[in-house]
Amino acid sequence: MVHRPRVVVIGAGFGGLSTAKRLERRAVDVVLIDQHNYHTFQPLLYQVATSGLNPADVAYATRGLFRRQRRVFVRKGLVTGVDWTGQRVLLRDEEPEAFDYLVIAAGSATNYFGIPGADEYAFPLYSLEDAITLRNHILSLFESAAAEPALVDQGVLNFVVVGGGPTGVEVAGALAELIDKVLEGDFHDLDVHRSNVILVEQGPTLLSTFDPKSQAYARRTLEQRGVDVRLNTAVDSITVDHVHFADASSLPTRALVWAAGIRASDLAQRVEATRGRGGRITVEPDLSIPGHANAFAVGDVADIAAGRGGQLPQLAQVAIQGGHHVAEQIMCTIERRPRSPFAYVDKGTMATIGRRAAVAELPRNIRLTGGIAWLAWLGLHLVYLLGVRNRVSVMVNWAWNYLTWDRGPRLILRPEELATTPHPHADGPGSSRSGSRSGGRSTRSPN
Ligand SMILES: Cc1cc2nc3c(=O)[nH]c(=O)nc-3n(C[C@H](O)[C@H](O)[C@H](O)COP(=O)(O)OP(=O)(O)OC[C@H]3O[C@@H](n4cnc5c(N)ncnc54)[C@H](O)[C@@H]3O)c2cc1C
């Protein structure tokens, strides 16, 4: 029997999936390993956290994507390392997986920059579990305040979002909308307007990688919608019921959302390889790992040089295009054709602020703000969502929310014992807890 080269792909995110999809009809066997049995569409996690969408709308069962591809084998498992000498991927509690070619696409994790208390008390937003935990907590705080209104004076309805990048802007905008337009009606026995959404950014602007006009628009719109935007404000420490700032001021809160930074996933630290910014795996121009011509790193986990000493940002498009590229490099090697360097095509960046408000910066210096940018944002996210069912469900949810001002799933699925105490962080393999220093995600839209 002819030996089919075995390509092992670690991670079923944007990078891993695009690699596997590009290889599914080629003369190779693909083994796609992920700790979850589903792909998560991270750009819409904030809508799950703020009761805009159902968790199942932003996730897709990985096996379902390859049900007709008999040479793609999906495996659920947690990868713990790579045995370079034996050319095997090591898994927790399972047999190792041998490879001829390896693609590491393990993504990133939350970065708390070593800020005291952040690991214990901040809410990350990196996985589906994070989004559900945050939604439970937000809704539980309102329930607690309704039961005991005196808690409002203790800051129970102060929602602090740390990080003025796209994720922070989106979370703050969506939270303000949820409270002002939806919970206000749900909790008619509570003065919901005593709640505050505070967006904290240590730099001098929001959306630092965007044009100043887009930055000003984002700030103005958030403030008009009731968000208290605090620039040049650095978090110093977080406790069970307060956030303390570098200027010695503090704010009572029981819900602090951390949208301030990411680093390479834990796996990057476990693999014997050179690491760059944020612990990301350094790669050659063709995205192979130095010293291992048959192994590649793509997406958030890879430190990809972008010229002039910079690196490519951690964005869906970088991961998708990187995945396609390494699939082609693997086929070039098998077919004895020369490899080529990765050339990223920037298709633009976007961030949404809320209903009929977004910023979009597209190639050829096209800059959009307001309703038209928002429509572009909606359309693009629908295009890149996986699965027709998910697209239809998201579209129906968005149309319903838009027409009725009624958000969908305001369900507390795992009631916390006492909402006013710290949240029960999930520490399982899906959790995005713990961190070390690195840069954050700068710009986005999965276009
Ligand atoms: C809240 C949020 C909003 C975002 N919004 C945007 C946006 O609007 N536009 C945009 O372009 N980008 C956005 N991004 C960034 C974008 O989602 C990432 O750049 C993209 O997901 C990177 O793809 P990836 O394949 O490298 O990693 P991921 O999509 O994170 O996939 C990594 C996969 O690897 C798996 N994995 C990790 N470690 C292991 C292990 N040890 N064993 C097995 N499996 C493992 C994970 O389970 C995961 O499925 C956002 C990110 C977040 C968190």
Question: pLDDT, tens digit, for every residue of 399-439?
Answer: 888 888 877 789 998 755 445 554 444 333 334 433 332 33
- Confidence (pTM): 0.92
Tokens of residue 37, six digits: 């049995």
What amino acid positions are annotated as catalytic residues? 170
Question: Which residues are within 8 A (CB) of 39 and not within 5 positions of it... i.e. 6 or more apart?
Answer: 12, 13, 17, 59, 60, 62, 65, 386
Is the shortest distance between the CB of 281 and ligand 1 below 6 Å?
A: no
The angle at the Cα of 89, spanning 83 to 95, to the nearest 5 degrees, equals 110
Lowest mean pLDDT among 86-95, 374-383, 411-420: 411-420
Residue nearest to atom 23 of ligand 1 (CA): 14
Instruction: Give the DSSP per-residue string, 294-349.
Output: EEEE-GGGEE-B-STT-B--S-HHHHHHHHHHHHHHHHHHHTT------------E
Q: For residue 128, report the distance from its CA to the centre of ligand 1, in Å.
A: 11
* pLDDT exceeds 90 at position 64: yes
Q: Which helix (H) or strand (E) covers residue 99, if one does?
A: none
Question: Which residues are within 8 A (CB) of 49 and not within 5 positions of it... i.e. 6 or more apart?
Answer: 125, 130, 131, 132, 134, 135, 138, 171, 174, 257
Q: For residue 299, report the distance from its CA to the centre of ligand 1, in Å.
A: 8
E strands, 119-201, where?
Answer: 122-123, 158-162, 196-200
The DSSP bridge partners found for residue 228 are 198
If you average pLDDT over residues 149-167, what whole number do you get?
A: 97
Do β-strands 158-162 and 292-297 pair in parallel, antiparallel, or remain unpaired? unpaired
The whole-angstrom separation of Cα 407 and Cα 305 is: 42
* pLDDT exceeds 80 at position 134: yes
Q: For residue 12, report the distance from its CA to the centre of ligand 1, in Å.
A: 9
Is the shortest distance between the CB of 348 and ligand 1 below 6 Å?
A: no
If you average pLDDT over residues 279-301, what whole number do you get?
A: 98
Residue 152 DSSP label: G
* pLDDT exceeds 60 at position 175: yes
The pLDDT of residue 105: 98
User: What are the pLDDT digits (tens) for 307-365?
Assistant: 777 899 999 999 999 999 999 999 999 999 999 999 999 999 999 999 999 999 999 99
Tokens of residue 268, six digits: 């990057």
Q: Say if CB 316 and CB 333 are below 8 A apart.
A: no
Is the shortest distance between the CB of 215 and ligand 1 below 6 Å?
A: no
How many other CB atoms are there within 10 angstroms of residue 17's CB atom? 24
Is the shortest distance between the CB of 319 and ligand 1 below 6 Å?
A: yes
Average pLDDT of the residues of the chain? 91
* pLDDT exceeds 90 at position 90: yes
